[in-house]
């Protein structure tokens, strides 16, 4: 039995990391999945890797910080599939840096991709979901959207904004059949996080610090986050909206 039936799912930032793992999980559970990303080569690799595992994914190149790109992608998915049942706003960037070290360029890019991209994609999809009277939006927040952490000022700020955008949108859509929730992972060693560790002055110390924040004594896996997203996407969760689903190894409970 598949958990998503024949739902149509759109995942931004789906060519690698959590987005790709979630795309595979959703497709294995019966969904038609479209992934987006900025790099065509990465998208092509993701589609080929999925095919090698017996999973079919569709891919569209996109920059979520560009309004026209967001509208175009939604229009393409609707033209090809007739509907969008689930939107996973996963695309994001992460840069290290304290409040005073972070450059305006890095801060603006982080907000443009993480916050503006989440808002633009939601804005493009919601009218369609309202017309159908159903839909699920999942925003990739973070434990760092709920708790502060030194050394990632722009990222923490952006994720806090996503948490509030999730809550506000959920309240605006309450009772319409459209649910909005956020997934709040702890540290998952995706390619993006691995790059942050590698770029630290002392990579081993950086990794040890983040590991120490997880009471369970380990980092999470992409598969664990994908399964939590599956919970938020499936039918029967109508009473769950505006929630911050923490999958963080206990970090948020500290």
As a whole number of angstroms, the distance between CA 18 and CA 20 comes to: 6
Among 157, 164, 136, residue whose Cα is nearest residue 233: 136
**Interatomic CA distance for residues 38 and 181, integer angstroms:** 25
Start-to-end CA distance of the chain, whole Å, equals 38
H/E stretch holding 89:
strand 86-89
Does residue 90 sit in helix, strand or coil?
coil
Is 200 among the residues known to form the active site? Answer: no
Q: Measured between alpha carbons, how far is 133 from 130 in angstroms, rounded to an integer?
A: 5
252: DSSP letter: G
Cα separations in angstroms, 240 against 5, 176, 180, 236: 19, 13, 8, 9
How far is Cα 234 from Cα 33, in angstroms, rounded to an integer?
A: 14
Residue 77 CB-density burial (10 A; 0-12 exposed, 13-18 middle, 19+ buried): buried
β-strands 178-185, 244-247 pairing? parallel
Determine which one of 119, 155, 210, 219 is catalytic: 155
Joined together, the tokens standing for residue 115 give: 């916050």
Which residues are catalytically annotated?
Answer: 155
């Amino acid at each position: 039995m598949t958990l998503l039936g024949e739902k149509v799912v759109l995942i931004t930032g789906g060519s690698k990391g959590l987005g790709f793992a979630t795309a595979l999980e959703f497709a294995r559970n019966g969904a038609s999945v479209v992934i987006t990303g900025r790099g065509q080569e990465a998208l092509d690799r993701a589609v080929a890797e999925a095919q090698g595992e017996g999973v079919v994914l569709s891919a569209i190149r996109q920059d979520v910080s560009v309004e026209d790109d967001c509208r175009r992608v939604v229009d393409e998915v609707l033209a090809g599939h007739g509907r969008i049942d689930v939107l996973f706003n996963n695309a994001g960037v992460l840069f290290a840096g304290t409040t005073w070290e972070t450059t305006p360029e890095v801060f603006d890019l982080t907000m443009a991709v993480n916050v503006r991209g989440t808002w633009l994609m939601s804005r493009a999809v919601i009218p369609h979901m309202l017309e159908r009277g159903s839909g699920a939006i999942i925003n990739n927040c973070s434990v760092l959207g709920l708790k502060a952490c030194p050394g990632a000022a722009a990222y923490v700020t952006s994720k806090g904004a996503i948490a509030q955008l999730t809550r506000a949108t959920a309240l605006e859509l309450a009772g319409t059949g459209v649910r909005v929730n956020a997934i709040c992972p702890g540290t998952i060693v995706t390619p993006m996080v691995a790059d942050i560790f590698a770029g630290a002055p002392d990579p081993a110390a950086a990794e040890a610090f983040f590991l120490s924040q997880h009471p369970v004594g380990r980092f999470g896996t992409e598969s664990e986050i994908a399964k939590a997203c599956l919970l938020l996407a499936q039918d029967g969760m109508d009473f769950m909206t505006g929630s911050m689903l923490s999958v963080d190894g206990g970090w948020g409970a500290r």
